[in-house]
Structures are given as structure tokens and as C-alpha cells.
Structure 1
Amino acid sequence: MTNENGGCVSRRDKWKRQVRMLVVIPIIGSLVISYFFCPQCISEGDYGQFALSVLVSYLYWIALSVGNSLLVDGLGRYLDWLHKPVERTIASLILMILYTVFVVFVMNYVIVAYLMHKDFWEMLYGGHLKGSIITTVSIALFISMFFHARGFFVSWRDAAVQNEKLNTENATSKLETLKSQVNPHFLFNSLNALTSLVYDDQQKAVDFIHKLSDVYRYVLQSQNQELVPLSDELAFTQSFVYLNEIRFGKNFAVTITGMDQMAGQDHVPPLALQMLVENCIKHNEISKERPLSIQIDYRSDSVLVSNSLNPIQQEKPDSTGLGLKNITSRYSYLSDREVKVTTDQSQFTVEVPIIKLETS
């Protein structure tokens, strides 16, 4: 994780957190537990026995903390607290109990067999370890519950932070989209093309006005949505493409394939495809000598937008790829699948994942 200081502070914070979780807290907890169970060790000056008790308690704490942390992380990959709370709770309880009993059993075996030099199984079946094991398991379960509860609250906090980031990204997206679509240059170019059409082809001028209206209507309608049907996004993108085909003529061509295979549950973030097409136009030269061709290809789980490379020799200083960054950021909060960007000497390709939603 990076921050204003280039990531150094976060590494230091991570190191401090590890020291706190693996050294400071376990030692303090071990001292408290050892004093609770053996106060006479201090009062009678049996510091060797007290130190041994602290060491055993510390080893218990480390085994339980590390093991349960791994369990929390492992379960998080398959059962999310927020989306499957019941299944996660049941799985956590079962694995926590099994792991805790296992740790207590192994630790007692080591203590009895190697420190006390006695027959573990004889003492176990003779009932001599019953009270010790019950007490140890109870304390161990309490410690384990702490780590699993901590895992839940960390997940809840992270989800809240991600939701806030997503809201910020959506607000940024709306602003950037409105700025790009309603800026004077876009409007000037559209009206300039429309002026020519009015004299040359009145029917095409009417179609142009309808498409321009569709573009602005869609921008306004989708600005409060996190996801839109892929079919709607494609229709909007086609309207945007039409306006630019009028503007650039035969020097600009967009080919769309595979869209007849779209499913009703296919969704993407609003304006994602349009932003990619706009990026192609923004960062490439479009002329008779160097025409621009764009390919939009539907796959079962993604959409590929690729274009021929005609890079502008001297781009404007503000041409920083904000559109692509915006799309990538939004996907990082909406899906666990990433936007993929590939490029070679002749072609630039962006693959955006399709998010499947159940439709009623």
C-alpha cells in the first residue's frame, strides 16, 4: 500500500503492527495469565516456574494467533463476511474449535512428555489432565474468538472504506464524463458537422441531432448508476461512434462483433466503452493518410476494445489517460477481476470484464 511518503510509512506501520501482535500483546497476556494461575510463584519467589509458565503461555498465544490469522485469511478467500455471514460464522466456529483443540492437545503432549518427563497418555486417561485441558481450551477459545471477531470488524471496515472510495470514483466519473461530453470542443465539433449536414443531407442532419440527443440523455440517466446493462452501454457507444463517423468520415471506422451473443445479465460500469473509444480518438492521429480503426469484440466474460496505433507525435500536457485510470479504479471496487491492457507495435487493446447480475 502506498501513500504520500512513497510507501515507507505503511511498511513501518506494518512492522510495528506485527511487533505489537507477535511480541508486545502476547508477552503482556502471558504475564497476566501466568500470574492468575500461579500467584504463589511470585509470592514464594519461584521465578523459574513463573518464567516457564510465561513461556508456555506465550507459545500458546503465538500458535493460536498465527494459526487463527491464517484461518481468517484463508476463509476470507472463499467465504466473505459481508456476503455469506451465516456460512462464514459456521465455518469459523468449526475450524476455530478444531484448531484450538489440536493446539492444546499438542502443547500438553509436549509439556507432559518432554518437560515433565511423564507418560502423557497415562495422565490423559487417568483424568489428571482433565482440569488443565478444559481450562486451557476455554482460554484458547476466548483468544481464538478475539482473532475471528477482529477479522470480521476488519472486513466490515474495509468494505465501508471501499464503498466510500467507490462513491468518490463514481462522482469523479460523472464529473469527467460531463466535462468530456459537454466541453466546448466536443459541442463545437458536433455543431460544425451538423451545419455541414443541414446543407448537404437534411435527413442525415436529423439523424445526427437524434444521436447527439441520445448521447446527452444517456449521460444524465446513467450518472447515478454503478452498473448498466451492456446492451444499453453498447447502444450509447454506437450513438457516440456515429457522431464521430460524421466528423471524421472514412478516416474513422469502428467494427463491433459478437454482440448478438450478449446475455441479459451482462453489465459494465456506465460510460466504460465510450470512454475507451474516446481515448482512442484522443490519443491517435486521424487523417486520410493515417485512418483510425477500432474493434469492439464481445467475449462471454469480457469486452475487448482495440485500436490501430497512430500516436499523436506531440500530445497535450493534460493527456494523462484519466479515462482509463477511472475505469480501472471503478473495476477495482466493483469486481475482483482486473482491467487488462496490452499493446504491441501496431495495436492497443483494453479488456474490460463483464459483471454478471441476475435479472428478475
Structure 2
Amino acid sequence: MINLLYPSWLWRMTIAACIGLFSYPVIMLIRGYTIELTTGYYYAGFSLYAACAHAWMIEWHLFKNRRLRNKLSWLDHTWLRFLIELPLAFLIGATGVFIGLSALMLSFFEAYNLSLTLWSFYLTLGILMSLVYSAFFHVAELLHAWQSAKVRAAEMEQASVRAQMAALQNQVSPHFLFNSLNMAHALIDRDTEEAKSFIDQLAEVYRYVLKNRQEELVSVQEEIEFARHYLALAQMRFQYILIKESVSPDALQRAIPPVTLQILIENALHHNAITHEHPLHLYIESTDNSLILRNTRNPRLHAPDHSHAGTGLNNIRQRYLFFTERAIQINQTDAMFSVTIPLLEFPA
């Protein structure tokens, strides 16, 4: 792709040569003359010097832009830049035409003994072409500045998103550790050996949390394996927890934010009384584009702290906002509570 702001030397010379090649017939047509095939020798000479004049203008405009671009940007010094650019464009155009025509007259004096009218015509044409080059490079400069601003804005937005995601992830990890240590504390009073086993498994579970705390997405398969480990820890404390999985192979390869299932399972543990008569049944199921976690309801007689109740679900909602417009869906009946979360695709 051509860099319009600073095209390569080969492109610049090619453009100058092409314009020079067509200059003679175009000027002859403008002046109302017929192009004769017998003028090929003069045509070649005129084209050569016209190409040199255009190369002169292109190179000087690029040199000028490089000098002024960082010192006097169009956005910050519009009028000053305009007042400097306009006379420079006239000077570059007039100088290019003067050098080209002078060389032409020296080489083909008899054929190109130009009158004052023709000098004025060629100077006007050269200045107009210089203004065209100046306008072209300034448009290229503005486009480049606009594209650079878009890239910087996108980079800043991505950095902001990563920072917000990291903040949300950091909300999860300490909360998870706090609840796990509460489980360990309860087991220590009941069975020391079981507590040791619990802590060993907790180390494995927390390794997963630390490994993925900087990840924006993980596979459903990884998340379900992590949920199994977490449920194994929960069963040591509550015992009466049953889980059933029905997730398609395609869904296992899709993505969700890390520790999403752990938050939903923890929510079920937090809000329900789990007993031999009323075990907690958990169902993890998939549809074409969603993952569903359902649990039976047996609300505690003493309601838990409601300031904590919505924290986990709100965390999931906020993290999903970074990836999709599809919202998580919550459904509740007397017997069942379910949360449906969208399945995502990994970035290409």
C-alpha cells in the first residue's frame, strides 16, 4: 500500500514521469493546437523537462512538509501554516517551471523561443500544479493525523477495558479465597485430616485462579473442570451436593470469562440451606449459544447479608458488557433458580 504522506522515491519519480509524459499533448490541446506525429523529437524533450519540473515540485513539497509538520501542525497553527504554505507553493511552482523552461530553451532554442504570453501561461500552469501538490500532501497529512488519532483512541480504549477487567477480576479472587478459608476453618474443627486434604485441593484450585486472573476469556471446558474441583471442596463442607452436566462438545470449545461458574456455584451455596433432606442439585447445560446453570431452591431460614447477595451476579454482568450486548438472564421459581450466560468466541 502506498504511503500517501511520504511515498517512496520510486513512486514519486514514476508519478513525475507519467505527468511529464502527458504534459505536452494536454498543453497543446488546451492551447487549441493539433498534435503532429512529426513533433516526436520535441515531444520527448518537452516531456523530459516537464517530468523534471514536476519531480522538483514533489520533492520540495515533501521537504517543506517534513520541516513544518512537527513545528507547525495544521490543527494547532492553521492560519500561520496557511500563510507560510501559500507563498512557498507559488515559489516552488514558479521555480520549477522556470528551471524546466530554461533548460528546454537552451536545448531546443529554435523550436522553443517563448513569448512573454507563453511564459505567463506556463508559470500560471506550474503554480496551479504546485498548489495541487501542496493540497494533496496536506490532505494526506490530515488523513494520517486522523488515522493516528483513531489508533491512539482505540489503544487507550483497550487499555481502559483491560484495567476495568483487571479490577473486576481482582474483586473475585480475594472473595473466593475468603470463602474457601471459611470452609477450611469449619473443617479444622471437625476433622483435621480432612482439613489438610481440603487445603491441598484448595491450593490446586487457587492455582487455576492465579493462572487465569489476567485472562479475559477461558474455554468452557477449562471452566467446568475448575468447577468440579471447586464442588469437590464444597462437598467436603456441605456433603449433600449433586451435580449433573449436559454440555455439548461444541459448547466446551467456546469461551466465557474466568471463574464465572465458580461465582454462580458460590451464589447457590450462599443462598440455600443444604441438608440430607434437601440436597442441592446443580445442573450445567448448554444450548446453541448459551450455558445454563440451574440449582434447586431451599432458601435459608435466616436470609444472608443482602449487601453481598448481588455482588457475584453484578460482577458477571459487568464483565460480559465488555464482550457482547447479550445480557445474562436470571429466572427464578419456587423450586428452581437458573442463570443463562452467553457463550462467546475467542478473538481471532
With normalisation by structure 1, the TM-score equals 0.49
Quick check: 1:166–1:330 contact (8 Å CA) kept in 2? no
For the pair 1:241 / 2:231, whether they are aligned, the reply is: yes
For the pair 1:167 / 2:169, whether they are aligned, the reply is: no
Residue identity in the other structure for 2:210: L
Q: Secondary structure at the match of 1:310?
A: coil
Q: Pick from 241, 244, 269 the counterpart of residue 255 of structure 1.
A: 244
CA, structure 1 residues 319+158, in 2 after alignment: closer, same or farther (shift >3 Å)?
Answer: farther
Q: How many residues align?
A: 204
Task: Give the CA deviation at 1:207.
Answer: 5.8
Task: Give the CA deviation at 1:241.
Answer: 0.6
For the pair 1:229 / 2:224, whether they are aligned, the reply is: no
Quick check: 1:194–1:208 contact (8 Å CA) kept in 2? no
Q: Pick from 176, 183, 191 the counterpart of residue 189 of structure 1.
A: 183
| Matches of 2:275 and 2:171, distance apart in 1 | 27
Runs of 4+ in 1 over 3 A off after TM superposition: 152-166, 194-199, 204-210, 262-265
User: Structure 1, residues 105-124: CA drift from partner, whole Å, max 9, x if none?
Assistant: xxxxxxxxxxxxxxxxxxxx
| Matches of 2:180 and 2:340, distance apart in 1 | 26
Task: Give the CA deviation at 1:320.
Answer: 3.4
User: Structure 1, residues 11-66: CA drift from partner, whole Å, max 9, x if none?
Assistant: xxxxxxxxxxxxxxxxxxxxxxxxxxxxxxxxxxxxxxxxxxxxxxxxxxxxxxxx
| Matches of 2:292 and 2:283, distance apart in 1 | 8
Q: What residue in structure 2 maps to residue 53 of structure 1?
A: none
More displaced, 309-318 or 345-354?
309-318
Residue identity in the other structure for 1:193: L
Task: Give the CA deviation at 1:307.
Answer: 1.1
Residue identity in the other structure for 2:177: V
Quick check: 1:283–1:311 contact (8 Å CA) kept in 2? yes
> Which structure has the larger Rg over C-alpha atoms?
2
Residue identity in the other structure for 1:182: L
Quick check: 2:330–2:340 contact (8 Å CA) kept in 1? yes
Task: Give the CA deviation at 1:182.
Answer: 1.8
Once the two structures are superposed, the pairs formed by residues 315-334 of structure 1 within 5 Å of their partners are 315-334=304-323
Q: Secondary structure at the match of 1:254?
A: strand
Q: What residue in structure 2 maps to residue 180 of structure 1?
A: 175
Q: What residue in structure 2 maps to residue 274 of structure 1?
A: 262
| Matches of 1:155 and 1:197, distance apart in 2 | 61
Kindly report the root-mean-square deviation, in angstroms, between the aligned alpha carbons of the 2 structures. 3.3
Residue identity in the other structure for 1:225: E
Quick check: 1:211–1:243 contact (8 Å CA) kept in 2? yes
Q: Secondary structure at the match of 1:349?
A: strand
User: Structure 1, residues 115-140: CA drift from partner, whole Å, max 9, x if none?
Assistant: xxxxxxxxxxxxxxxxxxxxxxxxxx
User: Which sections of structure 1, spanning at least 5 residues, go unmatched?
Assistant: 1-151
Q: Secondary structure at the match of 1:318?
A: helix
For the pair 1:351 / 2:346, whether they are aligned, the reply is: no
Quick check: 1:177–1:219 contact (8 Å CA) kept in 2? no
CA, structure 1 residues 215+158, in 2 after alignment: closer, same or farther (shift >3 Å)?
Answer: same
| Matches of 1:155 and 1:330, distance apart in 2 | 25
Quick check: 2:294–2:339 contact (8 Å CA) kept in 1? yes
Q: What residue in structure 1 maps to residue 299 of structure 2?
A: 311
CA, structure 1 residues 295+265, in 2 after alignment: closer, same or farther (shift >3 Å)?
Answer: closer
Residue identity in the other structure for 1:232: E
| Matches of 1:319 and 1:158, distance apart in 2 | 36
| Matches of 1:195 and 1:315, distance apart in 2 | 23
CA, structure 1 residues 243+311, in 2 after alignment: closer, same or farther (shift >3 Å)?
Answer: same
Q: Percent identity?
A: 26
Q: What residue in structure 2 maps to residue 14 of structure 1?
A: none
User: Structure 1, residues 147-201: CA drift from partner, whole Å, max 9, x if none?
Assistant: xxxxx99998996786456334422322222222221x531422543675555xx
| Matches of 1:267 and 1:217, distance apart in 2 | 20
